[in-house]
């Protein structure tokens, strides 16, 4: 039986406003979950929310990240029209910008019978499925989160999708950044995810042509729905 999840495509969205919106949904689920437990109800009507969006240039540093993985100063950030935020997800520094598909699942994992490791594995699997449909084989890289190309060759391995999440009482927020037509020079200003010996790539770079982001969003939406056995419904 599939679990209903509210899907919202936010289009191009300011990072801070989107973060605040995630927090609102996250807290709503926690409040409803606690109320349900107090009242003896086993389930909420929704398993959560799935947000898709694209951000203007922004760097985010996870709570365990190192500040020195941002390789530029405030003046240069302004020069390249980028923002910078220290946030409450796991992981180190990453970049969001035009040409990415950014996904924020705000889910009650208990509804799906998942722990955090399997949750991240499922996100990676949906990305891997999507890339295969686009003609690229990808995989995981040991204990490093995200999706990689040529993961078994240290001299060639490169990340195409970063994943960083936060969870409290089995409710998630933050998510993934999937490089489609991304301007990769913005990654040269950081040590992506704190890693200095691996590359970053995009679907456009790998396939040698600009990609239809709308089509890939639909593939990804379908694959996430399938992997998690969720039914995506329109905003209420």
Residues labelled as active-site residues = 193
- Of residues 143, 149, 119, 111, the one with CA closest to residue 131: 149
Beta-bridged to residue 148, according to DSSP, are 139, 159
* Spatial contact of 119 and 132, defined as CB atoms under 8 Å apart: no
The alpha carbon of 134 is separated from its chain's Cα centroid by a whole number of angstroms, namely: 19
| Bridge partner list, 5 | 48, 232
Q: Rounded to whole angstroms, what are the CA distances from 28 to 4, 105, 174?
A: 16, 14, 15
| E strand or H helix at 206 | helix 203-207
Any idea what the Cα angle at residue 94 is, between residues 107 and 109, rounded to 5°?
Answer: 15
With contact defined as beta carbons under 8 Å apart, do 98 and 40 qualify? no
Spatial distance between the Cα atoms of 38 and 48, rounded to a whole number of angstroms: 19
CB 65 within 8 A of CB 93: yes
- 3-class DSSP string for 148-176: EECCCCCCCCEEEEEEEEEEECCEEEEEE
């Amino acid at each position: 039986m599939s679990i209903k999840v509210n899907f919202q495509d936010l289009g191009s969205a300011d990072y801070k406003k989107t973060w605040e919106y995630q927090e609102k949904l996250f807290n709503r689920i926690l409040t409803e979950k606690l109320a349900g437990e107090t009242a003896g109800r086993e389930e909420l009507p929704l398993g959560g929310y799935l947000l898709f969006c694209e951000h203007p240039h922004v760097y985010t540093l996870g709570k365990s990240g190192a500040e020195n993985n941002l390789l530029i100063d405030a003046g240069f950030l302004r020069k390249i029209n980028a923002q910078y935020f220290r946030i409450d997800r796991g992981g180190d520094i990453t970049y969001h910008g035009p040409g990415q598909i950014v996904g924020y699942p705000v889910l009650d994992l208990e509804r799906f019978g998942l722990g955090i490791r399997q949750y991240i594995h499922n996100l990676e699997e949906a990305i891997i499925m999507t890339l295969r449909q686009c003609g690229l084989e990808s995989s995981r890289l040991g204990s490093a989160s995200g999706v990689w190309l040529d993961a078994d060759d240290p001299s060639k391995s490169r990340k195409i999708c970063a994943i960083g999440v936060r969870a409290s009482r089995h409710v998630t927020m933050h998510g993934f950044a999937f490089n489609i037509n991304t301007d990769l020079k913005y990654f040269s200003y950081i040590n992506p995810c704190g890693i200095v010996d691996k590359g970053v790539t995009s679907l456009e770079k790998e396939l040698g042509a600009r990609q239809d982001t709308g089509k890939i969003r639909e593939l990804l939406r379908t694959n996430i729905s399938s992997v998690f056995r969720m039914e995506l419904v329109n905003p209420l």
